[in-house]
Structure 1
Amino acid sequence: MDGKFKKIVIDNSDTIVHMWLDEVDSLKDGNYTSSISDELFENTNREFVNVIFSSIQKQGASISLEEFSEKLINLGWPLSYITDGLQVFRRVTVDYILSQSDQVDSTYISNVLKSVDMWVEPIIRQLVNEYSGSWEHIVSLQRVALQELSAPLIPVMDSITVMPLIGTIDTERAKLIMENLLEGVIRHNAEVVLIDITGVPVVDTMVAHHIIQAAEAVRLIGSTCILVGIRPEIAQTIVNLGIDLGKFPTKSSLRKGFTAALEITNRKVVDLDGKEESIGRMLDSLNGE
C-alpha cells in the first residue's frame, strides 16, 4: 500500500473501523446473519477488522486468518460474510481517503483505488483459501465418520453379528456395506450375519440386488446371511418386482432372525431366571422397537 495512504488509514483507523461497523451492522437485518445475537455479531466483526488492520501494520493478528476462518465455519457462517465484509471495508476505506484530500482528479482516485486493492485483495484471497481449506477438512472428517456409521457390524454373541442399515442405500454405500460385511465376518469369526433393513425406507430392484450380492459374498466365505426387518409393504414390493430372495433366510423382525441364528449355530434360548426376556429386550433395543 502507498505509504501516504497507509499513514492516513493507520492514523484514522478508529474512524474507519466505526464507519465499517456501522455499514456491516446495517446489513445484518434480513440477511444470513439476522438470527445471530447482537453480542456475537459485534465481537466477530471486531475480530474481523482486527485481522484486516493487522495485515497492514505487519504485526501478527491477535487471531490468525486460519483461526478466524475456522471459527466462522464452526459458527455456521457462510463464506459470503467474509467477501461482503471486505467489499464494504474496501468501499469505506476508499471513501475516507478521498474525503481527506482536495484532489478529485482521476489520477488520484485511480491511485487510491489501486492502493486499497493491493491491501484488501490479498486478504480476500487468503481468507477465502483458509476458509475453503478448513471447510474441506471438516467435510472430509464428517464423511469418514458417516462412512463408519453407515454400515456398522455389531457382534452380539459368539459367531453371530448384526448389521443394522438405516436410510437410503446407493451404489457407493452398497460397496461400503459389502467391504464392512466381509471384513467383519472374518474379524469376528461370524457364522451367521443378520442384515437388518428395518430402517431402510425403500427396497427397490437396485437395493435388493446389492443385498443379494452381499449375502452371496458372505455365503462364499462360509457364513450364513439372514435378512431381517422385512415389513409387509417391503414384502409386497419385493414380490411385485419379482425379486428372488429364496437363496437365503428372511425374517420379519430381528428377534425372529436371532432365534434362527441360534438354531443355525446349534443353540437356543432357555428361560432361566428371566434371561430369555433380557435377551429379547436386548434385541428389541438393537431393532429400535
Structure 2
Amino acid sequence: MPEVFEESIEIRKYIDLNKQNFEDSLLLEAVNVKDKIKEIEKYGNINLINNAHKLIGFVINGKEKELEDFAEQEGIAWATHALTLSFKLEWIQAIRRTLWRYIQKYYEQMKNVSLEELFILEKQINNRIDKFLNVFFIIYSKYKDKLIKEQRELVENLSVPIIPITPSISILPLIGTIDSMRADILEEKVLMEIGNLRIQTLIIDLSGIADMESDVIHHLIKMIDGISLMGCNAIITGLRAEVVRKMIHLGMKFDKNTETLGTLQQALYQYIGKI
C-alpha cells in the first residue's frame, strides 16, 4: 500500500507538469459543459477548472474528509444557484475519463508496473469519485428541498398579507392572479390569522384582482362563510366589474351579512370612524 500511495504522488506531479494539456483534454471530453463554464462562473461564482484540479487532488491523495467537505460545498452551491445537474454529472465523468487517460500516459512511461498496484489504484480512485458524486447529490437534494420549503413559506406569507390597523380590524389586500392553489393557501392562512390575531373585522380588498375563474370565486365565497363562522365580519372592497358580471351570470352571491364597498378608502373611513 505505501507503494501505491507513493505512486499516487507521482501521478499528481505528472498531471501538474502537464496541467494545460490536461485542461484542454478535459474540455474536449465535456462537450456540453465547456460552453457553459463562463456562465456558471458568472452566475454561480464556481470556477469549474480550479474545482476539477481540487477534486483530482483529493481523489489521488486519498483526502477522504476533504473530499466529503468539498462535495457538500459543491452540492449547496449548485442547489443555491439552480445549476443544471446534468452539467455536473457530465463534468465529473469527463474528469474521471481525463484522469484515467493521464494515468495511462504516466504508466506508459514506467517500467515493471505491478498489475496488482494498478488494480488497487483503480478501485481507490473510482470509489472516491463515486463517493464525491453520492455526497454531492444527497446534499444537493436536501438543500434544494430546504430552499423550496423556505421559498414556499415566503410565497405563502406574501400571498396572504394580512395587515392589522387596529387591535380588532385588519386588511387583506389581494393583487395578481388567484388560482386554486393560492385560494387554498388564502383560506388556511386567513382563518388561522383570524384566530391568532383575534380579528373582528377583516377588510378584503380585491381592487388588485382583474379577474377570477368561477371555481376561485366559489372558493372565495366559501372562505367568507368560514370567516363569518369564526365571528368575524368580512368587508369586501374594490370588486371589479368583470368579477361582478361573472358572479351574476353564475348565480353566485356573498352572504347577506357580508358588506361590500366600492373602495378600500371608503371602508377605512367608515370603520375607523366608528372606533
Describe the superposition over 1:225-251 as per-residue Cα deviations: whole angstroms up to 9, x where unpaired: 012221222222222332222532223
Give % identity.
21
CA contact (8 A) 1:153 1:180 kept: no
State the partner residue of 1:61: 66
Q: Distance in 2 between matches of 1:132 and 1:82?
A: 14
- Cα distance change of structure 1 residues 194 and 116 upon mapping to structure 2, 3 Å threshold: same
TM-score by length of 2: 0.77
Counterpart code for 1:251: L
In the TM superposition, residue 162 of structure 1 has moved relative to its aligned partner by: 0.8
CA contact (8 A) 2:71 2:135 kept: yes
Q: Do structure 1's residue 162 and structure 2's residue 166 form an aligned pair?
A: no
- Cα distance change of structure 1 residues 222 and 115 upon mapping to structure 2, 3 Å threshold: closer
CA contact (8 A) 2:174 2:207 kept: yes
Count how many residue pairs are aligned between Structure 1 and Structure 2.
Answer: 261
CA contact (8 A) 1:160 1:192 kept: yes
Residue 100 of structure 1 aligns to a residue whose secondary structure is helix
- Cα distance change of structure 1 residues 55 and 224 upon mapping to structure 2, 3 Å threshold: same
Q: Distance in 2 between matches of 1:42 and 1:235?
A: 53
State the partner residue of 2:93: 87
- Cα distance change of structure 1 residues 19 and 230 upon mapping to structure 2, 3 Å threshold: farther
Q: Distance in 1 between matches of 2:14 and 2:213?
A: 67
From 13, 19, 39, the equivalent of 1:11 is: 13
Q: Which moved more, 1:120-129 or 1:173-182?
A: 173-182
Give the CA RMSD over aligned residues.
Answer: 3.5
From 69, 72, 76, the equivalent of 2:78 is: 72
- Cα distance change of structure 1 residues 40 and 243 upon mapping to structure 2, 3 Å threshold: closer
- Cα distance change of structure 1 residues 135 and 31 upon mapping to structure 2, 3 Å threshold: farther
Residue 39 of structure 2 aligns to a residue whose secondary structure is coil
TM-score by length of 1: 0.74
Q: Distance in 1 between matches of 2:87 and 2:33?
A: 13
CA contact (8 A) 1:164 1:196 kept: yes
Q: Distance in 2 between matches of 1:216 and 1:136?
A: 35
- Cα distance change of structure 1 residues 184 and 164 upon mapping to structure 2, 3 Å threshold: same
State the partner residue of 2:268: 258
Residue 152 of structure 1 aligns to a residue whose secondary structure is coil
- Cα distance change of structure 1 residues 11 and 221 upon mapping to structure 2, 3 Å threshold: same
CA contact (8 A) 1:165 1:196 kept: yes
- Cα distance change of structure 1 residues 97 and 198 upon mapping to structure 2, 3 Å threshold: same
**Residue pairs, 1:187-226, within 5 angstroms:** 187-226=196-235
State the partner residue of 1:153: 162
Unaligned runs of 5+ in 2: none
Residue 35 of structure 1 aligns to a residue whose secondary structure is helix
**Residue pairs, 1:115-130, within 5 angstroms:** 116-130=125-139
Q: Distance in 1 between matches of 2:92 and 2:183?
A: 45
In the TM superposition, residue 154 of structure 1 has moved relative to its aligned partner by: 0.9
Residue 185 of structure 2 aligns to a residue whose secondary structure is helix
In the TM superposition, residue 101 of structure 1 has moved relative to its aligned partner by: 3.9
Q: Distance in 2 between matches of 1:260 and 1:23?
A: 75
Q: Distance in 2 between matches of 1:185 and 1:42?
A: 46
CA contact (8 A) 1:226 1:251 kept: yes
CA contact (8 A) 1:205 1:243 kept: no
CA contact (8 A) 1:94 1:116 kept: no
Q: Distance in 2 between matches of 1:200 and 1:31?
A: 43
